[in-house]
Amino acid sequence: MDSKTTHFGYQEVPLEEKAGRVAEVFDSVAARYDLMNDLMSLGIHRLWKRVALERSGVRRGHQVLDIAGGTGDLTEQFVRRVGPKGRVVLADINASMLKVGRDRLIDKGAGAHVEVVQANAEALPFPDNTFDCITIAFGLRNVTDKARALASMTRVLKPGGRLLVLEFSKPTHPVFERIYDQYSFHVLPRLGSLIANDADSYRYLAESIRMHPDQDTLKSMMETAGLERVEYTNMTGGVVALHRGLKL
């Protein structure tokens, strides 16, 4: 792969094409994204997000940015935590996902308390030192330039603020990894075909997980972006890892 190309799943594509291809995937799956998440993870994604929420340190009056927030499940919980004097911004590069998230938050009674912003994680449209906490859950692997995105997130964090990255990662046991591979490349596309009428998008999602940096590599990338005290916690045998870093 040269400097002008990047990965789209297992394919090598020109840099300028990746964002559009990722957008097509999420345009396709947006309407059934929550249902598919439940089916794909057997509902465990809710537990993973609950752990992220508890480790966010978010409290009343905080300003929170939920990047790649999609359907707004984390955003809704942050609204409850920050209270009327806090601020929560739901950001996503994909308009289809944002519409689903905004509608869902309105239905839940939280829509009036959330700012919805279409934004690219690589160039966040916020001033320096704005947010007490930034989260990106299952979104970093779809970003074209992950290092640039991490630097952008660090820039808009306040000193003392924290970034949490919840993402699929590398299973820690070889046997479990083989089982996980079978599930990802055979079961997920079939589920995608049956539920969302789109096997290709879910095949891409499985491939994008394999191309994402492993736990230690992502830790190093966060440190390079300027974050301190970076640590990660493996969940479900390393299928998912929660990385957390502070801006000092």
**How many CA atoms lie within 13 Å of 45's alpha carbon, on the beta-carbon side?**
17
- In three-state secondary structure terms, 83 is coil
The superfamily in CATH containing domain 5-246 is Vaccinia Virus protein VP39 (3.40.50.150)
Please, are residues 136 and 68 in contact by the beta-carbon 8 Å criterion? yes
In DSSP notation, 172-197 reads SSHHHHHHHHHIIIIIHHHHHHHHSS
Phi and psi at residue 201, to the nearest 5°: -65, -40
Q: What are the residue boundaries of the structural domains of the chain, listed by start?
A: 5-246
pLDDT of amino acid 36: 67
Please, are residues 207 and 231 in contact by the beta-carbon 8 Å criterion? no
| Burial profile 213-242: b = 16 or more Cβ within 10 angstroms, e = fewer | bebeebbebbeebebeebebeebbbbbbbb
Q: Distance (Å, rounded) from C-alpha 180 to C-alpha 178?
A: 5
Per the annotation, binding residues for S-adenosyl-L-methionine are 71, 92, 120-121
Q: Distance (Å, rounded) from C-alpha 25 to C-alpha 200?
A: 8
Closest CA to 104 of 197, 33, 10, 152: 33
pLDDT of amino acid 3: 58
Distances (CA, A) of 125 to 43, 79, 80, 128, 157: 33, 21, 24, 10, 13
Q: What's the token pair of residue 149?
A: 């995105």
Q: Distance (Å, rounded) from C-alpha 194 to C-alpha 189?
A: 9
Q: What is the 3-state secondary structure (H, E, C) of 102-115?
A: HHHHHHCCCHHHEE
Residues of the chain short of pLDDT 70, as ranges, are 1-3, 36, 39
Per the annotation, binding residues are 71, 92, 120-121
Q: Distance (Å, rounded) from C-alpha 11 to C-alpha 13?
A: 6
Q: Distance (Å, rounded) from C-alpha 216 to C-alpha 87?
A: 32
